[in-house]
Amino acid sequence: MDTLSLIFDALSAKKATLGHLSHLTQNLGDNNQLQAFDALYDRFKSQDGSVQNPFFIDIPEEAWVPDGDFGNGEDPRSRLSLKLELSGLKFHVQAIEVVENTDPDSNEYGYLQATNPQLETDVSNLWAIAGWEGEHPDLLIVQGRQYLVTMFPFA
């Protein structure tokens, strides 16, 4: 299967993010890259055909700062952070490394859980606040690890 077909398959399954798309399209010609981005844009169309005005930011992997070590020997890459400014408003962006709970006997089977036990409450709270049901949200992939991303304005 060629790269463009892989991109369209991922988009139709709603599993591709802009980061994936940028990585997959880096070796495509301009025309194919435009087709891939058009397909991503189509994901943002509502049922009435209007578009939700998506704005895309591609953050390079090296911009993320590992800060998941809380003094107990945790993997620093279990949480990544960076600062972002949009139209003069500053945001704190955190990415918490997660995996899907695969224990069929668990009440949380299929849900995302933090790889760092110190961050499990954060993941549970985000899940509750966002009201996610069924499928989990899109995840950020950094160096082959998957992260749940949050963004809050500075106080």
Please check whether residues 43 and 92 belong to one and the same domain.
no
Residues 4-36 pLDDT 10s? 555 555 555 444 454 555 555 555 555 666 666
Domain count, the chain: 2
Please check whether residues 47 and 16 belong to one and the same domain.
yes
DSSP string, 4-72: HHHHHHHHHTT---HHHHHHHHTTS-HHHHHHHHHHHHHTTB-TTS-B---------GGGPEE----SS
Amino acid at 147: Y
Please check whether residues 66 and 142 belong to one and the same domain.
yes
Q: What is the 3-state secondary structure (H, E, C) of 59-78?
A: CCHHHCEECCCCCCCCCHHH
Q: Of 58, 87, 105, which marks where a domain is finished?
A: 58
pLDDT of residue 57: 79
**Does residue 43 register a pLDDT over 50?**
yes
Please check whether residues 95 and 145 belong to one and the same domain.
yes
3-state secondary structure at position 109: coil
| Residues of the chain above pLDDT 70, percent | 61
Q: Of 40, 58, 76, which marks where a domain is finished?
A: 58
Which of the two residues, 71 and 47, has the higher pLDDT score? 71
Average pLDDT, the chain: 77
Please check whether residues 99 and 122 belong to one and the same domain.
yes
**What residue numbers bound the domain in which 105 lies?**
61-153
Please check whether residues 106 and 81 belong to one and the same domain.
yes
Please check whether residues 53 and 65 belong to one and the same domain.
no
pLDDT of residue 47: 60
Please check whether residues 5 and 32 belong to one and the same domain.
yes
- Mean pLDDT on 84-97: 92
Window from 78-82, 87-91, 100-104, 136-140 with minimum mean pLDDT: 136-140
- Residue pair 36/12 in contact by the 8 Å Cβ criterion: no
Please check whether residues 76 and 148 belong to one and the same domain.
yes
